[in-house]
Copies of this chain bind each other. A is one copy, B any other.
Amino acid sequence: MTGPDKEKRGPRAMGQENEVRAGEVVVEPPSPTDAGLVFVGRVRTPWRTRAEAPRQGQPDGPVCRLEIFDPWKPALQGLERYESIEVIYWLHLSRRDIVRQVPKSSGSSHGTFALRSPVRPNPIGTSIVKLVGIEGSTVLVRGLDCLDETPLLDIKPIRCQFASAPKGDGETG
């Protein structure tokens, strides 16, 4: 693809691919102004390109770092009591205008809501990861698969642990 089309379409995903594949459907999306996000931190991982990153995080994968920005650092208090946490992040390189996609590993077209592709109307990534430790305002985890410098949106205890008492005490809401 060359010329103005390329600029209009932008990166396919993770800065790796620009093309729309045969069988894919692109739409003119509404302006993403229904609500606004604030990046509460930054994810540091060993992977600089999609080709390097694992397709799915593994519990025994490398330790990755969630660096929390001001003024959110006090929000970490008590997180150390959990063994597994949910990490929510923003897949900032993904295009957002494809409603049917043809995954590389597949010859056929699927709706975006039936895939976990990073290409989606709101490119929000969610992962359940193992909490390794907390050092100051940095959270160490295993099990991520996202690129280095991915913006962080949120951290939460996972619900099944949250419903019962965490280790240490029972005082959660």
Instruction: Kindly identify, within residues 21 to 66 of chain A, every residue whose CB is under 8 Å from any CB belonging to chain B.
Output: 25, 27-40, 56
Give the number of chain A interface residues (Cβ < 8 Å).
69
Q: Assuming A110-B77, A113-B155, is B37 touching A35 (CB within 8 A)?
A: yes
Which of the residues B100, B127, B157 comes within 8 Å of A77, measured between beta carbons?
B100
CB distance from A162 to the nearest CB of B (A): 5
Cα A36 to Cα B78 with chains together (Å): 30
Q: Assuming A126-B88, A159-B56, is B154 touching A115 (CB within 8 A)?
A: no
Q: Are A77 and B122 in contact (CB under 8 A)?
A: no
- The answer to the question of A2 belonging to the interface, with a C-beta cut-off of 8 Å to chain B, is no
Q: Are B114 and A78 in contact (CB under 8 A)?
A: yes
Cα A108 to Cα B77 with chains together (Å): 12
Copy number in the complex reads: 2
Q: Are A74 and B151 in contact (CB under 8 A)?
A: no
CB distance from A28 to the nearest CB of B (A): 7
CB distance from A37 to the nearest CB of B (A): 4
Q: Are B173 and A121 in contact (CB under 8 A)?
A: no
Residues of B within 8 Å of A109, CB to CB, are 77
Which of the residues B76, B100, B108 comes within 8 Å of A75, measured between beta carbons?
B100
Instruction: Kindly identify, within residues 90 to 130 of chain A, every residue whose CB is under 8 Å from any CB belonging to chain B.
Output: 90, 92, 96, 99-117, 120-122, 124, 126-127
CB closest chain-B residue, reference A39: B34
Closest 10 CB pairs of A and B: A103-B173, A78-B114, A77-B111, A32-B36, A75-B112, A27-B71, A113-B155, A75-B99, A79-B114, A32-B38
Beyond A115-B157, A115-B162, list 5 extra A-B contacts (CB 8 Å): A72-B99, A73-B99, A106-B173, A107-B171, A117-B173
